[in-house]
Structure 1
Amino acid sequence: METLFSPVILFFVLGALAAFARSDLAFPEPMSKALSLYLMCAIGLKGGILVAGNGFTIDLLLAATAGLVLSCLIPVGAFAVLRSFGRLDSTNAAAVAAHYGSVSVVTFIAGNQILTDSGMPPAGYMIAVLALMETPAIIVGLFLARGGNGMKMQSGQELMRETLLNGSVVLLTGSFIIGLVIGKEGFEPIAPVFETGFNGLLCLFLLDMGLIAARRISHARSLTARLVLLAIIFPIVNGTIGCIVGAMIGLDVGTTTALAILAASASYIAVPAAMRLALPKADAGLYLSLSLAVTFPFNITIGIPLYTQLAKLMV
Structure 2
Amino acid sequence: MVDAVVAFFVLGIIAQLLGAKIPFTDGLYKSLSMFLMIAIGLKGGIALQQHVDSSLLFMSVAVIGFGLLLPLVAYPLLRYFGQLDKVNAGAIAAHYGSVSVATYAVAVALLEANNVAYEAYFPLFVVLLEMPAIVVGLVLAKGNFKIINREFIKKELVANQSILLMVGSLLIGFIGGDSVQKLAPLFIELFPGILALFLLKMGLVAGEQLGTLKKNSVFLISFAVLMPMLGGLAGTGLALLLGLSAGGIALMAVLGASASYIAVPAAMKESLPEANAGMSITASLGITFPFNVLINVPFFIALGQFFGA
Q: CA deviation at 1:314?
A: 2.3
The structure 1 residue matched to 2:35, chosen from 16, 38, 48, is 38
Q: CA deviation at 1:241?
A: 1.0
Q: CA deviation at 1:59?
A: 4.6
Answer yes or no: is the 8 Å Cα contact 1:90–1:145 preserved in 2. yes
1:128 has 2:124 as partner: yes
Relative distance call for 1:255 and 1:57 in structure 2 (3 A) is: farther
Give the structure 2 partner of residue 268 of structure 1. Answer: 261
Higher alpha-carbon deviation: 188-197 or 81-90: 188-197
Structure 1 unaligned regions, length at least 5: none
CA distance in 1: counterparts of 2:74 and 2:17, whole angstroms: 30
CA distance in 2: counterparts of 1:277 and 1:118, whole angstroms: 41
1:179 has 2:176 as partner: no
Give the structure 1 partner of residue 239 of structure 2. Answer: 246
Higher alpha-carbon deviation: 260-269 or 213-222: 213-222
Q: Percent identity?
A: 39
1:296 has 2:296 as partner: no
The structure 1 residue matched to 2:87, chosen from 73, 87, 91, is 91
Deviation track 1:262-312 (CA, whole Å, cap 9, x = no partner) reads 111111111111111222111000111111111111111111011112222
Instruction: Give the TM-score of the pair, scaled to structure 2.
Output: 0.94
Q: CA deviation at 1:89?
A: 0.9
CA distance in 2: counterparts of 1:281 and 1:298, whole angstroms: 28
Give the structure 2 partner of residue 156 of structure 1. Answer: 149
Q: CA deviation at 1:219?
A: 2.6
Deviation track 1:141-169 (CA, whole Å, cap 9, x = no partner) reads 1221223xx7x975622321222211111
Give the structure 2 partner of residue 200 of structure 1. Answer: 193
Q: Which amino acid counterpart does residue 10 of structure 1 have in structure 2? A: A
CA distance in 2: counterparts of 1:201 and 1:121, whole angstroms: 22
Answer yes or no: is the 8 Å Cα contact 2:99–2:126 preserved in 1. yes
Question: Cα RMSD over matched residues?
Answer: 1.7
Task: Map 1:1-315 onto structure 2 (within 5 A).
Answer: 1=1, 5-52=2-49, 54-147=50-143, 154=147, 156-164=149-157, 165-183=159-177, 185-315=178-308
Q: Which amino acid counterpart does residue 136 of structure 1 have in structure 2? A: P
Deviation track 1:25-60 (CA, whole Å, cap 9, x = no partner) reads 2312211111111121111111100111x2313552
CA distance in 2: counterparts of 1:62 and 1:120, whole angstroms: 24
CA distance in 1: counterparts of 2:209 and 2:150, whole angstroms: 32
CA distance in 2: counterparts of 1:126 and 1:166, whole angstroms: 20
Instruction: Give the TM-score of the pair, scaled to structure 1.
Output: 0.93
Please give the secondary structure, in 2, of the residue aligned with 1:196.
Answer: coil
Structure 2 unaligned regions, length at least 5: none
